[in-house]
Structure 1
């Protein structure tokens, strides 16, 4: 049994991040690997503030928990659900000091890094997620995401050096295939599924059965989840209500971020954990989102949805490419919200999409196995 260590973000309140790390951890375990996930609790920046926060984190006092304590909020249900989820489904390896990575290397057969936007160097360039510490241990990228079309010029030399050490590279977006193939001058970089797609619809439904929702859910409702806080979402949701005829809304908000103030008949559910998030998408009549992972889960659960675009395509930090990639791949480009049309509201015929997803899932699992074994 090979020891596979997963290097990725685990969430911290972002539902998509939690679900992608969970899905990859579970799939690797189901494939028979002894799987764990490394959690670095040492500072990236070498200053007093970073060291203080790292020391506090070692004792379970994250930034979010400290903020809760300062506000007098000592019982945050959402955080409790997240802690319970992580403790139940992850085998964590906590690294408090950089020198301990040397010992982790000795006990690791393969490092697998991905997914989410761990390689988005506009957001943050952290060599740790490019496995700069891995020494002679085999390095594999599975669905690692840039989130952007290309690396900034100032980071390219370092990125090229780090990525050249990977034996296999699978990325989430087609745009990332092009960018990384060019920077490495390699033709073996390939596109693979986001980890949330590695689990089947039935596996996600089974997980959702453990949801603990503290209030009655309407029989028919629009599920809303937005990472951006764009004021135009309000009018767009109003139009979705008008076109679909569904009046009730259940809204889940990103942890630590103010919710978009949506119209009346909105139930804002502050206490949803990752499992409740899945359950609410599954039971909804329609989904409105600007989130990649809420979109991916909607597709996997065969739900009707509409995509709100969080960025303008002209923005240098735009992350729209990952949304375009997944929608184009499954023939769902019409699900992007458009004021002039309403074809985004039509029921989705998932028969061919599901067949394509099943085929993609098989190819992606094979990539993962071959990358680890060969």
Structure 2
């Protein structure tokens, strides 16, 4: 059986990241490939990394006790640790993760042990995540094996800094096939390489609702009968009044899976699927929360992401254009605006485009 290594962003904290990783695994396994998700870190991990992390935590605690700097919140630390365990359990159960690796603790023979390197999905081409020439060269290798495939990778930004353009060009030139997730990303690749990549939907859309329900799990905490699901990766304070007003008017509870003070925070990828499937409405600035809302025909409202990074909306713009639902950004939350028949037909069509690309690539 041929082997495929999946290089995506790795961490135990982001719902969309885990679920797109799972979708890639399922798609490759359907093509009789043995998959390994690379637990890749830019810096040293393993025993040394754990020691460094513990030392940092101890320093923060001591500074807090001495009232120096920010007060360290042990409750937040404990909640994060509990949620990480839930995410880790999902990874171990479904993703066949490798041992922690980086370009310092494994050599090129490790990469050469695979028939394919699949880079994607998620924001693998965002320069703050993957703009390191040494890392890129490590995965691309020095010959034509393994075959390197770009699978619906996202930039999350509309242009590449001048200092990184040669790095990206070198990477794309080495790839046997390239696909991206946003129109602006396709323009970047074409400018750098004169190759026209395919624009594909996110891999999560290639699995049916029934396939997602196979890994769906009801949360351990009590879920209200009717609720709005809130999932914000950026600041949300400016939006809470609007959401609260809508919830009161429609007799809905609010579940916020990013609120550490609530048991709702103890939610993993499987529970997240359940909450999206059963919500009356979803309020979010997250690309993947929108994608799953489309899959489950759950009405949603898109809010602008407010955080310290550059504009991350390029993926969402493409998504809303493809499915003709730009009205989801409107302040007037209206269930009736969604044409689910048209949306479902588009999902079927875009899924077929994705599968045809994958068939040609592997």
TM-score (norm 1): 0.83
Name 1:119's counterpart in structure 2. Answer: 125
Q: The residue matched to 1:81 in structure 2 has which SS?
A: helix
Q: Aligned partners of 2:272 and 2:207: how far apart in 1?
A: 16
Q: The residue matched to 2:271 in structure 1 has which SS?
A: helix
Q: How far has the Cα of 1:80 moved from its partner? A: 2.0
Q: Give 1:153-172 correspondences, 5 Å limit.
A: 153-172=162-181
Q: The residue matched to 1:169 in structure 2 has which SS?
A: strand
Name 2:205's counterpart in structure 1. Answer: 197
Q: Aligned partners of 1:90 and 1:82: how far apart in 2?
A: 11
Q: Give 1:304-343 correspondences, 5 Å limit.
A: 304-311=299-306, 317-338=310-331, 342=332
Higher mean alpha-carbon deviation, 67-76 vs 90-99, is at 67-76
Instruction: Please provide the CA RMSD for this pair.
Output: 2.8
CA contact (8 A) 1:7 1:129 kept: no
Q: The residue matched to 1:217 in structure 2 has which SS?
A: coil
CA contact (8 A) 2:131 2:168 kept: no
Report whether the alignment pairs 1:281 with 2:276: yes
Q: Give 1:96-175 correspondences, 5 Å limit.
A: 98=104, 100-122=106-128, 125-127=131-133, 130=136, 132-135=138-141, 136=143, 137=145, 138-175=147-184
Q: Aligned partners of 1:88 and 1:237: how far apart in 2?
A: 35
CA contact (8 A) 2:12 2:88 kept: no
Report whether the alignment pairs 1:15 with 2:15: yes
After superposition, the C-alpha distances for 1:79-119 in whole angstroms (9 at most, x for unaligned) are: 22112111111222223553623122331111110011111
Question: Residue 341 of structure 2 is aligned with which of 351, 367, 371?
Answer: 351
Q: Structure 1 residues 290 and 356, CA, compared in 2 at 3 Å: closer, same or farther?
A: same
Q: Structure 1 residues 63 and 128, CA, compared in 2 at 3 Å: closer, same or farther?
A: farther
Q: How far has the Cα of 1:134 moved from its partner? A: 2.5
Q: How far has the Cα of 1:129 moved from its partner? A: 6.5
Q: How far has the Cα of 1:355 moved from its partner? A: 1.1
Q: Aligned partners of 2:234 and 2:52: how far apart in 1?
A: 23
Q: Aligned partners of 1:172 and 1:115: how far apart in 2?
A: 8
Give the total of aligned pairs. Answer: 343
Q: Aligned partners of 1:17 and 1:276: how far apart in 2?
A: 15
Q: Give 1:41-56 correspondences, 5 Å limit.
A: 41=41, 43=43, 51=44, 55-56=47-48
Stretches of structure 2 that go unaligned for 5 or more consecutive residues are: 62-73
Q: The residue matched to 1:215 in structure 2 has which SS?
A: coil
Report whether the alignment pairs 1:36 with 2:29: no
CA contact (8 A) 2:22 2:95 kept: yes
Report whether the alignment pairs 1:186 with 2:179: no
Name 1:84's counterpart in structure 2. Answer: 89
Q: The residue matched to 1:6 in structure 2 has which SS?
A: strand
Q: Structure 1 residues 317 and 363, CA, compared in 2 at 3 Å: closer, same or farther?
A: same
After superposition, the C-alpha distances for 1:235-282 in whole angstroms (9 at most, x for unaligned) are: 231243256x143111101xxxx66x9xxxxx6502101101111111
Stretches of structure 1 that go unaligned for 5 or more consecutive residues are: 44-50, 262-266
Q: How far has the Cα of 1:361 moved from its partner? A: 0.6
Name 2:254's counterpart in structure 1. Answer: 249
Q: The residue matched to 1:4 in structure 2 has which SS?
A: strand
CA contact (8 A) 1:42 1:54 kept: no
Q: How far has the Cα of 1:124 moved from its partner? A: 5.6
Name 1:4's counterpart in structure 2. Answer: 4
Q: Aligned partners of 1:344 and 1:62: how far apart in 2?
A: 49
Q: The residue matched to 2:231 in structure 1 has which SS?
A: strand
Q: Aligned partners of 2:31 and 2:56: how far apart in 1?
A: 38
